[in-house]
Amino acid sequence: MILLAITPGIGFDPQAWRRVLTSGVDAFLIREKELPGRALLKAARWCQDAAPDVELWIAGRLDVSLAVGCGLHAPEAHPDLAPGLVPLSRPLHHENQWPSRCCADQLLISPIFSSPGKGDAWGAERLHQFLDGLPAGGPRLLALGGVVPTSAVLLRHSRLAGIAAIRPFWGSDPQGAVSQFRAGGLA
């Protein structure tokens, strides 16, 4: 299962980012809205050098994604892109978004559990009902929002590829968080 770490939005901190990038996560989403384009490009290239085997995603900046050759996480209001331009990730906040987003490469289903400022939580039962009704194939699906190692086990489903998270990976022991997720059998 995939473990995707999302930056916490506090700027580029090479020491903290290296701890997360080398903790055993499979993917890394740079979501730094306040970082200017040039600084974001520099941070993305730094990530590729620091952890070349970790899949890299950039939130909201197609120019940076194209420049470094990584995936784009297009937020809610982002315009549609031509298919195949870059690997594409999108949020999925409600089941009715599936038809318009099912051609993306990755969907972050959220919020699964209560998460500050993120609206009504799906919960494990609703997530499972949604996943049960999906056709085979399609985008990689990751659960996001309030997911911690102890709650992740409730999400097990053959259609769920893994989890995306911020807080578990940005504490004092990101490697421990990865170990806990993997020990729980989800990832």
Structural domains in the chain? 2-183 (3.20.20.70)
Mean predicted confidence (pLDDT) in 93-110 = 96
Over the stretch 165-186, which tens digit does the pLDDT of each residue have?
Answer: 999 999 999 999 999 999 986 5
Q: What is the pLDDT of residue 107?
A: 98
Over the stretch 45-100, which tens digit does the pLDDT of each residue have?
Answer: 999 999 999 999 999 999 999 999 999 999 988 888 888 999 999 999 999 999 99
Cα angle for residues 52, 2, 143 (degrees, 5° grid): 130
Query: What does the alpha-carbon distance between residue 90 and residue 139 come to, in Å, rounded to a whole number?
Result: 10
Over the stretch 21-43, which tens digit does the pLDDT of each residue have?
Answer: 999 999 999 999 999 999 999 99
pLDDT band at 117; cut points 50, 70, 90: confident
Distance of CA 164 to the CA centre of its chain: 4
Q: What is the pLDDT of residue 187?
A: 46
Question: What's the whole-model pTM score?
Answer: 0.96
User: Which letter does DSSP use for residue 179 in this model?
Assistant: H
Query: What does the alpha-carbon distance between residue 39 and residue 19 come to, in Å, rounded to a whole number?
Result: 20
Q: What is the pLDDT of residue 162?
A: 97
